[in-house]
Structure 1
Amino acid sequence: MRSAGLDLVKWMAMLTMVADHLRFLWPEADGLFVLGRLAFPLFCLAIAVNVGRVRAGALYTRGNVRYLGLMLLFTLLSEPAYRWLDSGVQTFSVMPTLVLGLVIAWAVHHPLLSARVLGFAGLLVGWGFSEQLMYGLPGVLLPAAWLMARRLRGVAWLLPCLLAMGGNLTNSWLLGHLLAPFTLLTLMATALAIPVGMLLLRHDDWRVPAVGRWGYLFYPVHLLVIKVLA
């Protein structure tokens, strides 16, 4: 069923992602980088919500196959656009991180041996390729952490918060300047994504344009548009 709160999360994630990537047009606008730190944790929250809406144990459904298939398809489509926009980049686009995050979240949600094996394989890939993945191993674990926090509540909310900040510290400049005001501001914005995401989810009564499957296409297309404008 359509969730206005989930659509709000997706809209906020896309808007802050675009704001972050506008730095390719205005490199001096450092504030856009800080604002963009909201995007990835919110995308991970959207994955966690989608995983949690399926009955535990019902992993092998048409919807899940379609979900994973679309994620893999747009992983392949997004990589050329991502590398065309930033030819000097050292990591993959964000899509492989999200795909691995999805299968690990499935392992947490579904009490099936095959789901746990799939999740463990995703964990091994995330660990082995952490340096090549955007947001590294913490980013791969973030959707599952969101899922656990929504289920357990209380201090469990610290887990997605810490992983979101840890994912940003895979950025070598931020890691090397931990006490710099810009780093501290970046980590604060990242941590803020957790309560912001939960607040947005509560607004199912708002009238919000739905984010359909066109949302998958939005990622590579907006990269191409920014490259052309640049």
Structure 2
Amino acid sequence: MSRREGALDLLKWLALLSMVIDHLRYVGFSADWLYVPGRLAFAWFCLAMAANLVRGGTDAGPWRYLGWLLLFSAVSEIPYRLFFPDPATLNVMPTLFLGLLVARAWQVPTLEARCLAATALLLAALFSSRLMFGFYGVLLPLAMLLVFKRSLLLALLPGLVCVAANQWRLLYGAAWLGDTVALWGLVACLIAPGLGLVLLRHAGRFHPMPMRRWAYALYPMHFLVLLVVRQIAA
């Protein structure tokens, strides 16, 4: 395993852990502070997507990646709706799917890729309220790709996009009124891309279990596991 791959797998595992920590708020515990580490999850999944694009270059890998995202977008919707009985949005994978189309077009600016990206942006604009993290969430993988090999100072750009994707008006308003969780949530959104880039560049000595295709199943499965935990805790 290469240095980059070890760090990338670590980033993916930490993103998954962050997501699970965030969703623990819905199993019956009164722990609003879990919202703060939960803000790292989506940003780090988008960064991992950008890293896969950079590593994969122009081969067929991203298209297989798209296929798996599309498949598990559908598979995950049932357990997602079991865990959240009346969700305001779809599960996160459609957002990642559209985001990958947009980021791919920047890396490989063919006519086909640009048409797919334009379609993705149109869908994101029309159905922003139905997408988890909305229109800005679709832009976040591209923002990550733009700064992937650049100065860490530029990580503020995807940080701002991350804030916008996380309902920045509600966060900003609550933070302005002195809500500690909202304030730290804003901070977490801003610094998540930079923290992820630092990890990718300096955590090469770690070699966690590689995340292969089977890892897609962890997303719908974690909803079912937490649903069981909620039923037991009720």
Normalised to the residue count of structure 1, the TM-score between the two structures is 0.91
- Map of 1:149 onto structure 2: 147
Q: For the structure 1 residues 65 and 214, does the alpha-carbon distance in structure 2 shift closer, same or farther, using more than 3 Å as the test?
A: same
- Map of 1:50 onto structure 2: 52
Give 1:69's aligned amino acid.
G
- Map of 1:65 onto structure 2: 63
1:181 aligns with 2:183: no
**Displacement of 1:182 after TM fit?**
2.5
- Map of 1:192 onto structure 2: 191
Aligned counterparts of 1:25 and 1:154: Cα–Cα separation in 2: 36
- Map of 1:129 onto structure 2: 127
Report matched runs for 1:1-230 at 5 Å: 3-55=5-57, 58=58, 61=60, 63-153=61-151, 156-169=154-167, 173-174=170-171, 176-179=173-176, 180-202=179-201, 203-230=203-230
**Displacement of 1:176 after TM fit?**
4.8
Which 10-residue stretch deviates more, 63-72 or 174-183?
174-183
Aligned counterparts of 2:207 and 2:53: Cα–Cα separation in 1: 23
Aligned counterparts of 1:90 and 1:27: Cα–Cα separation in 2: 21
Q: For the structure 1 residues 15 and 228, does the alpha-carbon distance in structure 2 shift closer, same or farther, using more than 3 Å as the test?
A: same
Give 2:40's aligned amino acid.
L
**Displacement of 1:189 after TM fit?**
1.3
Q: Deviations over 1:139-190 (max 9, x none)?
A: 10000000001144365322201000111116x7436535133221111112
Aligned counterparts of 1:175 and 1:92: Cα–Cα separation in 2: 24
Which 10-residue stretch deviates more, 219-228 or 196-205?
196-205
Give 1:197's aligned amino acid.
G
**Displacement of 1:50 after TM fit?**
0.7
Whichever structure has more helix as a proportion of its residues is 2
CA contact (8 A) 2:22 2:35 kept: yes
CA contact (8 A) 1:148 1:156 kept: no
CA contact (8 A) 2:89 2:129 kept: yes
Which 10-residue stretch deviates more, 187-196 or 158-167?
187-196
Q: For the structure 1 residues 146 and 164, does the alpha-carbon distance in structure 2 shift closer, same or farther, using more than 3 Å as the test?
A: same
Normalised to the residue count of structure 2, the TM-score between the two structures is 0.90
**Displacement of 1:114 after TM fit?**
1.3
Q: Deviations over 1:106-144 (max 9, x none)?
A: 011102121111111111111111111111111100000
Identity %: 43
Gaps of 5+ in 2: none
Give 2:171's aligned amino acid.
L
CA contact (8 A) 1:130 1:136 kept: yes
CA contact (8 A) 2:148 2:197 kept: no
Give 1:16's aligned amino acid.
S
**Displacement of 1:228 after TM fit?**
1.6
Aligned counterparts of 1:64 and 1:182: Cα–Cα separation in 2: 36
SS at match of 1:177: helix
